[in-house]
Structure formats: structure tokens, C-alpha cells
Amino acid sequence: MQDNNIDVNYVADLARLELTEDQCERFSEQLNKVIDFIKQLEELDTDSIDPMAHASPIYDVMRDDVSRPGLGSEIALLNSPMTSNNQFKVTRVVES
Amino acid sequence: MSPSLADLTIRQLQSELKAGNISPVDIVNDVIKSIEDKDSEVGAYLSINSEDAITNAKEADISKPLGGIPVSIKDLINVKGQPCSCGSRILKDSYTSTFDATVIKKLKEAGAIPLGRVNMDEFAMGSSTENSGIQITKNPWDFESIPGGSSGGSAASVSNGTAIASLGSDTGGSIRQPASFCGTVGLKPSYGRVSRYGLVAFASSLDQIGPITKTSEDAAIILNTIAGKDQHDSTSLDSEVPDYLQSLNGEIKGLRIGMPKEYFTEGIDSGVLSSVQQGIQTLNDLGAEIVDISLPHTEYAVSTYYIIATAEASANLARFDAVRYGNRVSDPTNIIEHYRKSRAQGFGEEVKRRIILGTYVLSSGYSDAYYVKAQKVRTLIRNDFTEAFTKVDAIVSPTAPTPAFKIGEMSNDPLQMYLADIFTIAANLAGICGISTPCGFTTSDNGKKLPVGLQLLGPALQEATVLKISDAFEKSTDWHKQRPKQI
């Protein structure tokens, strides 16, 4: 595993991120070093330890189910790179 | 250069306002003039809303807690009608905030005037502000050095006398470390103390907004305004907000302050170490009892942090799909290419690296080994602090192991850069509060004076304690009063 922890190409695909060959090579080298380092956590016995998702002692925050005003479509669309008919315009999703 | 109101503290300006010697318009004009005079060299500001700030100053009500006080804002906190680029090319010149973050709403209600967007590492990922996709920011003390990060623009603007105070955010030290490197005060509130609504998320379980100021008193004034429960942030705590100014009585006699042995090991710059030791002696002279303590899982904090923070970041940054906002590449042939190329074009190197690492630690077959494991170690790290705080009221350490490093010095070695966060990140994992206050200077290789910060950590929701200690420290030292000399 030492030099080959991560398949950067595969992970970049999962993350919907196009990388150049050069970036792939560089990230692979740098992240392998980082991953070798973070494997130090394996030294710790954590079998009886609960995982902690966040630091706040809050769970299941509820509010009354009452409607509240939202942004509205005009404002929601303000920052979109492309809109059409008061909607977001997306690149073709289905094959023609 | 004649003295500028931009060099004063909030408290000093409030006295002058109350005495009728100055007006809010005078303050805003002086800050704008300082930016024009001094920021071209430092590069803290990305944009300035001068006209709008002057209009607000004319209408400012100085009877309010922050009436007429301008505050610079880190470029990832939404201010309605202003850009919010997060230091990223994916949002640059194409995004205008459509609402106020809760902290901005509260600042405005208290009479403050948001003035200027300040630079940062892209999406708050970094410790030097070199990862900004927009511009370099220099340390006002030494233009060859970085200002720290990710809130580098906030700290540089306050240090340079181009802002009265600033709002930053801290995910692993991003308020405290740049405050330390620039010779200012930086407060990271406890997780949940301040609403994150309107803060563009990096790592949602770690992010917290806080002030960068010239004194702890000013930090208390801002925290008084921005703290509290918010219906828009379910993780904000429904806990009473005390008047933080009340705790600043200079009286720290009998307080117990812990020195974690794991934070005073090899690898600390000798100038940093001697300044911090001298600072601890000052606290002792003021009557605080210094107690040796242990935080045994310290060596695992960096690993834990970089798993959890990148995992959360990879999920949070999935929203940058160039559909609802963000710059889109022209003429993608299908939706997958649209995502892949727009994100490739818009994100910088460090953001991509962290998205890759975060996606990897969450990916099928690895999430138990990395992500869940890190969440468990996070519990151990929090338990270390819980245990320590049964013995002491606060913990003292250097804010960072070194002073500000040179521009470009670490940018090719991400692991080295990550390791520099060693003293600050555990507080975010544990959800506790921390402050950095100036405690001395060390000399850089090129002979420039560089500030050193003293970090004080307190239990969750005990901001009053760390503010009380840092304020008492500032009342008996003058490190925080020293400002960089303009060349």
C-alpha cells in the first residue's frame, strides 16, 4: 500500500472534477504522503469509543410546521449562469 | 502620515463619538482613505463598498452598541448586495449575495457598517491566504511573509490600520493563526455560540465565525452582538449570552491555567517559545496559577482534522455545480462534462486536493477505516479537553509553532502546511473556544520583526474566561499596541 494508497483518477471522477495529467501525478504523490501520515490513527484502539459527528449537544431541532416566506424565484435565479423561462437552465441531461 | 481614526479601537472610537469629537462619517472616511493609502502594498481588500458605507454612516445611530463602527468582512460571509467570492474564481465577478448572514444582520441592527470584503484562502482552505484564487495578501509586518490564513485579509486589514475590526471564520485556526501572525487579537467562539447562517460552509461541524480586533475588549464588544441562538442554524446553542464586557475586570488571581506538555515539545521556533514563556510568566505574575496538564491525543489531531474537514468539504463543495451559481464553462456537451470542466476551471489547486482527499476518505470501502475512525478519535480528543477542564479554567500555548513564514515557502508541501495547524485544530474538533493575543516578537530571516501570539483555550461557552485572561494580559503588556511601520 505504501506508494499506492489512492487512485486519484477514479476519485476525481467520483467528485466530478476534471484533472490534468500533471495534477493527477502531483496529487497522487502528495496525497499518498498525507494518507501515509493519517494512517497513524490505526495505532489507537477505538473499539469501545463512540464516533462524534459534531461538537454541539443538540439533536433533532424542531419548529412548528408553519409556512414561511422563501427567497422567491426571481432572487433565487439572480446568480445563475444560465436561466430560461424563470427556471435554471441546465446542460442536456438525457441522450438525444 | 497624520494619525487616522482607522488606527483606533472600537472602544476609543465610541468615546470620541460620545464626546461629539468625531462622527461616523469621519470614521468611514478615514478607513476608506487608509485603504486607498496603504492597501495597495498589502492586498487585504478584494472590494470596497465606499458609497454605501458613507450613506450608512450618515444615518448611523451612535447610541447603538456598535453605532457607526465599520467592520471588514471575510469574503465568505454573505452581505446582501455585495459580492461573496470566497476567494474563488468559481464565484468571482458572478455572485452577489441575496441575503444577510445572521452575523451581518445582527451587526447592522447594532449600528455597525460592513465595509469591504477581505481576502482569504479559497473556501477557507489554507493557512497562508496564498490559496486565494484572486490575489496575494502580504503580512503588514514583512511584505515577504504571508499574513496567515485562512482569514489573512481580516488580520492584515486590522493590523495594517485599514480596518477597525473584522469578521473572520475559524475551522482549524483560521482566525487565531492569522491574528497571531499579524499581531492582532482573534477569537474563535465555541461551536454553536455564533450562528453560521450565511457563512459559506467549508466543514460544517468545525466552522465558526468570530472577530479579529485590536484588543480583547473589542472582541468582547463584537461577540456581545453576534452571539446567540438563531432559528436559521439548528446547531446554534440556545444558551444565554452574558455581557462579555462584564468579565473584563483584570482580575485573574486564583484562576488555574494549564500548560499541556504535548504543546511544548520540539519544533517550536525559539523566538516564539521565549515570547510565550514570558507571556505565561506574566499571567503567573498577575496571580494565575500555572498547572502542568496533559492532552494525550494531541499528536492525532492533525490526522483527525484533515480527514473530517476534507470529508465535510467534499460534500459541501458539491453544491458548486455551475447551475444555481458559479461560473460555467462555455458549451459543455453533456451534464457530466459541464460539472467536471466548470469545477476544474473554477476551483484552485488546494481546493481540488482537499475535495479529492475528502471524497476518498468517504468512498466505499474506505469510510470506516478513515472517516468513522477519525470521528472516534475526535471523541478521544474532546475527552482529553473535558478531563483537562476539570483541573484548570483555561489552557495556554503558542497559537502557532512558528511566526509567519515566507510567501511560497510551504506552498509545495501540503503535509508540512497542515502540520503547522497543530496547536489550533484540536479546539475546533472539541468545539471549545479560543483566543490569540499578541505576546511578543521574533525576528525573521530578513531581519524583520514578526509578531507572536499567545493562545488561550477555554471550555465550551466559557468565552468570558478566555476574554478575561487575554484582556488582563493586554492591560499589563503593550504588545497588542504595536503596529507595523509603513515603508
Q: Do A79 and B325 touch (CB under 8 A)?
A: yes
β-pairing, B209-213 vs B289-293, is: unpaired
Other beta carbons within 10 Å of B115? 31
Residues B117-121, mean pLDDT to the nearest whole number:
98
- Domains of chain A (ranges, CATH numbers): 8-43 (1.10.20)
Nearest CA distance, A24 vs chain B (angstrom): 10
Query: Where in chain B are the domains?
Result: 5-295+382-481
Which pLDDT tens digit goes with each residue over B432-442?
A: 999 999 999 99
Which pLDDT tens digit goes with each residue over B314-323?
A: 999 999 999 9
**B300: contact with A, CB 8 A cutoff:** yes
Q: Do B205 and A54 touch (CB under 8 A)?
A: yes
**B416: contact with A, CB 8 A cutoff:** no
For residue A37, what are the CA distances in angstroms to A2, A41, A42, B179, B335?
A: 11, 9, 11, 28, 36
Nearest CA distance, B141 vs chain A (angstrom): 31
DSSP state of B368: I
**B1 pLDDT exceeds 90?**
no
Q: Which residues of B are catalytic?
A: 74, 150, 174
**B486 pLDDT exceeds 70?**
no
Interatomic CA distance for residues B208 and B221, integer angstroms = 17
pLDDT band at B477 (very low <50, low <70, confident <90, very high): very high
**A61 pLDDT exceeds 90?**
no
Contacts of B432 in chain A (CB under 8 A): 55
pLDDT band at A56 (very low <50, low <70, confident <90, very high): confident
Contacts of A82 in chain B (CB under 8 A): 328
Q: Do A31 and B353 touch (CB under 8 A)?
A: yes
Nearest CA distance, B325 vs chain A (angstrom): 4
**B429: contact with A, CB 8 A cutoff:** yes
Which pLDDT tens digit goes with each residue over A37-52?
A: 999 999 999 999 999 9
Interatomic CA distance for residues B132 and B286, integer angstroms = 41
Report whether the peptide linkage leading into residue B94 is cis, meaning its omega lies within 30 degrees of zero: no
Contacts of B389 in chain A (CB under 8 A): none
Which one of A19, A75, A79, A84 makes the best mutation probe of the B interface by having the most chain B beta carbons within 10 Å?
A79
ipTM: 0.94
Q: Which residue on chain B is closest to A27 by alpha carbon? A: B353
> What angle is formed at CA B293 by the lines to CA B288 and CA B296, rounded to 5 degrees?
155
Q: Do A44 and B306 touch (CB under 8 A)?
A: no
Q: Do A11 and B360 touch (CB under 8 A)?
A: yes
Q: Do A91 and B335 touch (CB under 8 A)?
A: yes
Answer for the pair B429, B304: CB distance below 8 angstroms, yes or no.
yes
Contacts of A11 in chain B (CB under 8 A): 356, 359-360, 363
Q: What is the mean pLDDT of chain B?
A: 96
Interatomic CA distance for residues B429 and B381, integer angstroms = 7
**B296: contact with A, CB 8 A cutoff:** no
**B125 pLDDT exceeds 90?**
yes
Residue A11: which of B363, B378, B414 has the nearest Cβ?
Answer: B363
**B484 pLDDT exceeds 50?**
yes
Which one of A10, A11, A39 makes the best mutation probe of the B interface by having the most chain B beta carbons within 10 Å?
A11
Contacts of A80 in chain B (CB under 8 A): 323-325
β-pairing, B166-169 vs B70-74, is: parallel
CATH superfamily of B5-295+382-481: Amidase signature (AS) domain (3.90.1300.10)
Q: Do A58 and B234 touch (CB under 8 A)?
A: yes
Q: Which residue on chain B is closest to A24 by alpha carbon? A: B353
**B379: contact with A, CB 8 A cutoff:** yes
Q: Do B328 and A81 touch (CB under 8 A)?
A: yes
% of chain B at pLDDT higher than 70: 99
SS3 B108: helix
Q: Do A34 and B231 touch (CB under 8 A)?
A: no
Q: Which residue on chain A is closest to B352 by alpha carbon? A: A17
SS3 B457: strand
Which one of A20, A41, A73 makes the best mutation probe of the B interface by having the most chain B beta carbons within 10 Å?
A41
Which residues are registered as beta bridge partners of B167?
Answer: B73, B211
Q: Which helix (H) or strand (E) holds B185?
A: strand B185-188
Contacts of B337 in chain A (CB under 8 A): 91
Q: Which helix (H) or strand (E) holds A9?
A: helix A8-14
Smallest CA-to-CA distance from B416 within B310, B312, B306, B314 is with B306
Which pLDDT tens digit goes with each residue over B386-440?
A: 999 999 999 999 999 999 999 999 878 888 888 889 999 999 999 999 999 999 9
Residue A52: which of B355, B375, B432 has the nearest Cβ?
Answer: B375
